[in-house]
Amino acid sequence: MSRLAVRKTYKLYIGGAFPRSESGRSYPVTSPKGDFLANASRASRKDARDAVSAARKAFPGWSGATAYNRGQILYRIAEMLEGRRAQFADELGLGKKAALESVDAAIDRLVWYAGWSDKIASVHGTANPVAGPYFNLSTPEPTGVVAVVAPAEPLLGLVSVVAPVIVTGNTCVVVAAERTPLPAITLAEVLATSDLPGGVVNILTGHQAELAPWLAAHMDVNALDLTGVTDPDLALRCEQEAAANLKRVVRPSGDDWAADPGTGRMTAFLETKTVWHPMGV
Amino acid sequence: MSIFEYAPAPESRDVVDLKPSYGLFVGGEFVDGSGPSFKTVNPATEETLAEVATASSDDVDRAVQAARKAFDAWSGLPGGERAKYLFRIARIIQERARELAVLESLDNGKPIREARDVDVPLVAAHFFYYAGWADKLSYAGFGPDPRPLGVAGQVIPWNFPLLMLAWKIAPALACGNTVVLKPAETTPLTALLFAEICLQAELPPGVVNIVTGAGETGAAVVAHPDVAKVAFTGSTDVGRTIARTIAGSGKKLTLELGGKAANIVFEDAALDQAVEGIVNGIFFNQGHVCCAGSRLLVQESIQDELLTMLKRRLATLRLGDPLDKNTDIGAINSAEQLARIRRLSESGEAEGAERWSPACELPERGYWFPPTLFTGVAQSHRIAREEIFGPVLSVLTFRTPAEAVEKANNTPYGLSAGIWTEKGSRILWMADKLRAGVVWANTFNRFDPASPFGGYKESGYGREGGLRGLEAYLDV
Amino acid sequence: MTTSLADVASSGATLRAFLHGLPGVDRVGADQRAAMLGSRSIKTTAKARAIDLAISMVDLTTLEGADTPGKVRALCAKALHPGEGAPRVAAVCVYPDLVPVAAQALAGSGVKVASVATAFPSGRSSLEVKVSETKLAVAAGADEIDMVIDRGAFLAGDHLKVYEEIQAVKAACGEAHLKVILETGELATYDNVRRASWLAMLAGGDFIKTSTGKVSPAATLPVTLIMLEAVRDFRDATGRQVGVKPAGGIRTTKDAIKNLVLVNETAGDDWLSPDWFRLGASSLLNDLLMQRQKLATGRYAGPDYFTLD
């Protein structure tokens, strides 16, 4: 007699915990062929609000951690992901070879970004030779809480938008790809076991059109990445809502996840802080 | 009567050749505007200085088309050639510095000392700085051949009319963009004099276009479909509207908006210099400064001592004729702004804060407000939260560094902050924690073209000045 | 406050703790404040008033190895009759051995005789020598003694030694006024200028003076600013008013007027008199007189019309 499998319940990832949606709702996730895969939590605006609170709470600690420490943790995520290559490949539901390639690319991307943690300030900061007796230095600093609408590409795309946000010290609330949310929640399990402090990454599954506008309008969110929004009306509405507290907005563009990402996704969520001090005896 | 009374020392206004009326500067020519003309006044006397044309949306369109037409040739010039135009402009600004300073003081109300010693030298320096970048863009870290964006629509405020123009135009031109700039309604004259300087420099027609008018003209510039880049300095409310307006358009946007900076004084500070920093922080340019240190956070243990020193110092401030070389505090820029300062100051009293000003005689004509400080201010008071944009300082206290940071950051703004302490490690700890784009430690209100300026949160986004300031005008 | 200040010199440790507890001075900020005040535009009636005030504050000085009775007498003549309608200067400042000459020349005029003392300019001698030099100068007719502090002791942290030396010299002065020269050019930092100012005031100095004129930099505007802040704060703390004398390097009317602006906007009216502010100088006087004539005649003056003494 064959053993009955224990199925996984896919829940949200908020503040380092895995709660169900406070609304009690879920929605069925199916394979491209239409087979039922699992019920995912359908997050509500209140879950989004809780996720923002968790991200805000995590911000001082994460942004205050050393760059070295953040880099170590991102690298640790890559290590954990490497250990679960097969599981992710299965979950991606592509052909086996393509799936593994995609997982590998996601792992490599994490490693790439991990190394940026203690270099971006050298590349993006400036020493400013002002015309006076002053020490003057500009350094990049994380902008705060970033709301990210993740692209449909469920793992590589997700990693490619989350890693650049957090490596510099931001915390985030991610709306996972609506149709393919399962790798996002499995990634959350990786994050939860990678020494990443709870609340740095919060993952919501559910309906993009329901969640994104609330995040775009939230007055305690500092920036908005609309990469995953393909509906131009929804993108426009989110951008307009984002103006209420002048969020930094990254607008959707045709991203090629295989290409060299450059530093743009990091710098989009960095502030430049310039410190002056007189020089005198 | 004190023993050593300074006699009036007015700067001569003869260096300025005011015309009775001014048009727009479009395509390298001065042209009439189609809108009704408006008056620009000297806020120190309420005397009308000139009539200025209002640019209608058609006029704005013509200006944008002129800029568009000029774009290919301008962006196609070798960077070194663009640089030489900008160097020329910088030199002419230096040559005509006195004229520019006097005109700025007349139209804005700021003391000639500040226009002469701060605004105009910084304007020239800004053009020099970005001139040097024009042929070095490939070294700026944006790839081998970063491209300009196109026509930049720029809307600037009245507090530093010429300096804000320089902050906008210099990097835009260095990167190869062409511009349509709208100066503030109450201070258009130095921008129009700058147009003359462009002619003297033989800048190709259409590279710089100046359209004058009020909010509607600005809105037309911002909304114009052929404008690829919008840069705005002004209030957070207008910034919000602009961000909303251009949402979805793909236009690149930089915003330098309001602030409510905390100037934090610890008990171990160099107190005499801290007092100067507080004064410079809030009374420089009549407090019409977005990064003004409008909230004084003083450690409770030295509150009385510092306030005594501060009040004694305020009593020496010289308010009056902006053209007098010894004037420290000039006129409020407009009746409207004066009303706002009065309204907020009244709310301070109504909410229970204690108001104090030194004995200070205000001229009968013109728009004036005495240097004012409020003690007993709580974070919940409007005068501790809203930008007053006037010579009004709100004094709050704190007990520990952590409390100082908490109070300083407890605002939707994040433009600037000040720290006064003789302890180095505390400065760096504070600077790290403060959520503000510019942190002045043991100094305040210092500006330099090499130093990026701009805010966190609702103080806007993007940076002006320095290498970071190039980013706003490149397709990167 | 007064009581606690009396105790600060009870030991080297308390004195050091007090002086190091004074607020620091940020050099860049102090320089900027002084430069801003230096840019005040003093014209017409204000300039005329300032020039006369400055003349009345001059300590006309000759401190050369080559000084002779003749030279001193000439200087005293100039002090008494600087120019038509011009006020007399405050004092003539000479080496101790020439005090009798100056005292005789200035007798009854109201122009004071000031003498440097205490092994001027280096101060490198024993306390006995310093005290007896002071006594001799006073006995010879000096109204004012300009002593130098022991900068070596100050820089070595022996504040108490400096304090006690000033006290001893003050005692030796009797009725004469004591000006304490800090030699700020050797103190190097503005923090030290502030500390030395307080030290000199606590020890009983009637004036604090920037420099000997033998060390560069001498009286810079920021240093004078800091000393003016010190006398202002000292009076607030103790009720006792102390005067300030910048000396050395003040050569032009413009320099003098900048100093007066500093006094005006830092310490205020109470210090705007020769009793509380002096300018130690030699060539300054002629420039003041030339500017004075320019204001009176509307023509620029030439040096040939002013005596070189």
Kindly report, residue by residue over A247-260, the tens digit of the pLDDT.
999 987 778 999 99
Pairwise CB contact (< 8 Å): C28 & A279: yes
Among chain B residues, CA nearest to A280: B442
Interface of B with C in 396-455 (CB under 8 A): 422, 442-443
pLDDT of residue A93: 79
Q: Which chain A residues have a beta carbon less than 8 Å from that of C27? A: 278, 280-281
pLDDT of residue A254: 79
Q: How far apart are CA B6 and CA B165, in angstroms?
A: 34
Distances (CA, A) of A264 to A82, B425, C171, C215: 26, 32, 75, 58
pLDDT of residue C83: 87
> What percent of chain C clears pLDDT 70, i.e. is strictly above it?
99
Query: What integer best gives the mean pLDDT of chain A?
Result: 96
pLDDT of residue B1: 59
Written as one string, the DSSP assignment of C89-157 is PSEEEE-GGGHHHHHHHHTTSSPEEEEEESSTTTT-S-HHHHHHHHHHHHHTT-SEEEEEP-HHHHHTT
Cα end-to-end distance, chain A, whole Å: 85
Q: Which chain A residues have a beta carbon less than 8 Å from that of C26? A: 278, 280
Q: What are phi and psi of C31, to 5 degrees?
A: -60, -40
List all residues 6 or more positions away from A262 whose beta carbon is below 8 Å from its beta carbon.
none
Distances (CA, A) of C274 to B253, C90, C93, C135, C211: 62, 6, 14, 24, 18
Band (pLDDT 50/70/90 cuts) for residue C1 is very low
Is C209 marked active-site? yes
Rounded to a whole number of angstroms, the distance from the CA of B456 to the nearest CA of chain C is: 27
A123 touching B (Cβ < 8 Å)? yes
A24 touching B (Cβ < 8 Å)? no
Among chain B residues, CA nearest to C226: B272
Among chain A residues, CA nearest to B459: A246
Choose among C68, C74, C76, C85: nearest CA to C107: C76
Among residues C130, C135, C170, C245, which one is catalytic? C245
Q: Tens digits of per-residue pLDDT, C118-153?
A: 999 999 999 999 999 999 999 999 999 999 999 999
DSSP state of C251: -
Q: Which chain A residues have a beta carbon less than 8 Å from that of C31? A: 280
pLDDT of residue A60: 97
CA A8 to chain centre: 23
Pairwise CB contact (< 8 Å): C44 & B276: no
Q: What are phi and psi of B245, to 5 degrees?
A: -60, -45
pLDDT of residue A32: 85
pLDDT of residue A251: 87
Choose among C271, C281, C260: nearest CA to C75: C281
Choose among B187, C64, B238, C158: nearest CA to A246: B238
Interface of A with B in 175-234 (CB under 8 A): 222, 232
Q: How far apart are CA B3 and CA C220, in angstroms?
A: 24
| Half-sphere exposure (Cβ direction) of B229: Cα atoms closer than 13 Å | 31
Q: How far apart are CA B192 and CA B211, in angstroms?
A: 9
CA A212 to chain centre: 14
Among chain B residues, CA nearest to C23: B270
Q: Helices C159-173 and C190-202 sit at what angle, rounded to 10 degrees?
A: 40
Pairwise CB contact (< 8 Å): C29 & B113: no
List all residues 6 or more positions away from B262 whose beta carbon is below 8 Å from its beta carbon.
B293, B295, B296, B297, B404, B407, B408, B411, B417, B418, B434
pLDDT of residue A175: 98
- Number of other CB atoms surrounding residue C24 within 10 Å: 20
Tally of residues, chain B: 476
Rounded to a whole number of angstroms, the distance from the CA of C124 to the nearest CA of chain A is: 26
Of A64, A129, A245, the CB nearest to B412: A245
Residue A118's identity, in one-letter code, is: D
The SS3 call for residue A106 is: helix
Q: Where in the sequence numbering do the catalytic residues of B fall?
A: 256, 290
- Number of other CB atoms surrounding residue B80 within 10 Å: 11
Q: Tens digits of per-residue pLDDT, A158-192?
A: 999 999 999 999 999 999 999 999 999 999 999 99
| Buried-exposed string B316-348: b where 16+ CB fall within 10 A, e elsewhere | ebbbbbbbbbbbbbbbbbbeebbebbeebbeeb
pLDDT of residue C308: 86
Tally of residues, chain C: 309
Is C245 marked active-site? yes
Neighbours of chain C (3+ CB pairs under 8 A): A, B
Domains of chain B from N-terminus onward: 13-257+456-471 (3.40.605.10), 262-441 (3.40.309.10)
Domains of chain A from N-terminus onward: 26-278 (3.40.605.10)
Between B and C, how many CB-CB pairs are < 8 A? 74
What mean pLDDT comes out for the span C234-253?
Answer: 97
Out of A267-276, B263-272, C1-10, which region has the weakest mean confidence (pLDDT)? C1-10
Structure tokens at A152: 């449909």
Q: Tens digits of per-residue pLDDT, A9-46?
A: 999 999 999 999 999 999 999 988 899 999 999 999 99
Among chain C residues, CA nearest to A277: C28
Question: Per-residue pLDDT for C3 more than 70?
Answer: no
DSSP state of A146: E
B205 prior amide bond cis, ω within 30: no
pLDDT of residue A2: 86
Longest dimension (CA), chain B: 67
Q: Which chain A residues have a beta carbon less than 8 Å from that of B239? A: 246
pLDDT of residue A57: 98
Q: Which chain A residues have a beta carbon less than 8 Å from that of C28? A: 132-134, 278-280
Question: Per-residue pLDDT for C205 more than 90?
Answer: yes
Distances (CA, A) of A122 to A141, B58, B136, B141, C63: 12, 47, 20, 12, 58
List all residues 6 or more positions away from B458 whose beta carbon is below 8 Å from its beta carbon.
A245, A246, B236, B257, B258, B412, B413, B414
Structure tokens at A249: 């907005």
Architecture, CATH, for domain C26-305: Alpha-Beta Barrel (3.20)
Rounded to a whole number of angstroms, the distance from the CA of B111 to the nearest CA of chain C is: 13
Q: How far apart are CA B181 and CA B218, in angstroms?
A: 9
| Domain chopping of chain C, boundaries | 26-305
Instruction: Note down pLDDT in tens along chain B; length 476 residues.
Output: 588 999 999 999 999 999 999 999 999 999 999 999 999 999 999 999 999 999 999 999 999 999 999 999 999 999 999 999 999 999 999 999 999 999 999 999 999 999 999 999 999 999 999 999 999 999 999 999 999 999 999 999 999 999 999 999 999 999 999 999 999 999 999 999 999 999 999 999 999 999 999 999 999 999 999 999 999 999 999 999 999 999 999 999 999 999 999 999 999 999 999 999 999 999 999 999 999 999 999 999 999 999 999 999 999 999 999 999 999 999 999 999 999 999 999 999 999 999 999 999 999 999 999 999 999 999 999 999 999 999 999 999 999 999 999 999 999 999 999 999 999 999 999 999 999 999 999 999 999 999 999 999 999 999 999 999 999 999 99
Q: For residues B376 and B275, is the Cβ–Cβ distance under 8 A?
A: no
Question: Per-residue pLDDT for C158 more than 80?
Answer: yes
Structure tokens at B83: 């640089």
- Number of other CB atoms surrounding residue B84 within 10 Å: 16
Q: What's the predicted TM-score (pTM) here?
A: 0.97
Q: Which chain B residues have a beta carbon less than 8 Å from that of C222? A: none
Q: Which chain C residues have a beta carbon less than 8 Å from that of A130? A: none
C33 touching B (Cβ < 8 Å)? yes
Residue A29's identity, in one-letter code, is: V
Rounded to a whole number of angstroms, the distance from the CA of B444 to the nearest CA of chain C is: 10
Distances (CA, A) of A170 to A142, A201, A264, B409: 5, 9, 15, 17
What ipTM was estimated for this complex?
Answer: 0.97
The strand order across the sheet containing B438-441 reads A126-127, A134-142, A270-278, B438-441, B416-420, B262-265, B295-299, B392-398, B372-375, B354-356
Pairwise CB contact (< 8 Å): B325 & C41: yes
C265 touching B (Cβ < 8 Å)? yes
Angle at C166 between CA C161 and CA C171, to 5 degrees: 125
Pairwise CB contact (< 8 Å): B6 & C42: yes
Pairwise CB contact (< 8 Å): A281 & C188: yes
The SS3 call for residue C28 is: helix
Q: For residues B213 and B50, is the Cβ–Cβ distance under 8 A?
A: no
Q: For residues C206 and C243, is the Cβ–Cβ distance under 8 A?
A: yes
Structure tokens at B297: 């956070």
Rounded to a whole number of angstroms, the distance from the CA of B466 to the nearest CA of chain A is: 7
A96 touching B (Cβ < 8 Å)? no
Q: Which chain C residues have a beta carbon less than 8 Å from that of B276? A: 29, 32-33
